[in-house]
Structure 1
């Protein structure tokens, strides 16, 4: 029986790479994102390998999320996996210089959007039963603070704890939940965070070897296809060339 995966934030980065990886393995795929034209392009690219359904959707709209999941065709049900990937970072400036609207956007997307998708898809995952998997995409920023992380890091800390708490509530259902927390990865992430500053994005990745979207997609596929009795609670993935710094100290 064909496995079905729903991927949010599939218009770029981790989500797009995940769609290609699962398609390669022959899964049926529901790809979701706000940019319909990108979803259509992606569907065209992978449709030779997989049955694909596009779902233009803003995860911040709880009613739209509910209706979209409720309206899934029978051939895309039940969901065997949900890649809860839609999210973003904004304003890498110090907290005292950030527009409040940017904080609200991160909370609405990374927290509210994530729980909207989780709440709407859990019944289908439970129906699928043993081996069904929800991957919530967090970040090392949810564990380790750094300047300019403010609400972004706090939102990813929510992802971590929410995933752990779901594990407790889902005990006995066969459904697995993983917080997948990447480190520095070269995607559109920094372009979005800096509102289109290509130079800032190039500078961040210059002279090092960051993770790629494909690296994270491979982790997603691995987690999802483990034997059903194995659940990885959290995966923190950093490139070899990234590590922690000493504590900052303010001096006179």
Structure 2
């Protein structure tokens, strides 16, 4: 299955469950099939359902860029920027932040996700509804063209020399683990943005660094900008897909 932040699939599968598309108990396995243990997710999703929430959205914040997440207390901001992901509801407000890590004794370790609930401010419906996926896709493709051109002109060994571009193209044909019946454009942008974030993350691997620190820094700056643009597009595409699942579009 293609690699995506856990919160991306949790937002989509949770919204599908709240809309009656599947049992809420299935969400952890559908959203995080590779994890051995998930804690804290179902109780909060059940509470949100009982309080009338029907839409779960995703945010992928990072230090210095909190634009995709709702406002909230300092504890939420600290946890979300450390995890660089969260899901949240818009009506009454509230968020869940994952802590994903290895557990168990050496030689017999697995992976677990512990989700912690935080207060968050409600988000007005018109703010959510104003997302325009055609504009998001167009801007993403423009940024990809411009930044990959910059990357190709950067000094040092080109990124394509490591076969990463082919790996991303192959990744577009993998299973992304998304619910059925999503808008085709949303799926297309999720797959493209997810592949680009994977490319950028792989390109930032320290093993690809040049002996020339100036060249390495220049390529890292381009790759981080590429990752940021793709992350913003990924959030928009997932949230538009969630709006569709919830019947808001």
Q: Give the TM-score range, shorter chain.
A: 0.3 to 0.5
- Greater helix proportion: 2
TM-score when normalising by structure 1: 0.33
TM-score when normalising by structure 2: 0.33
Identify which of structures 1 and 2 has the higher relative contact order when contacts are C-alpha pairs closer than 8 Å and 6+ apart.
2
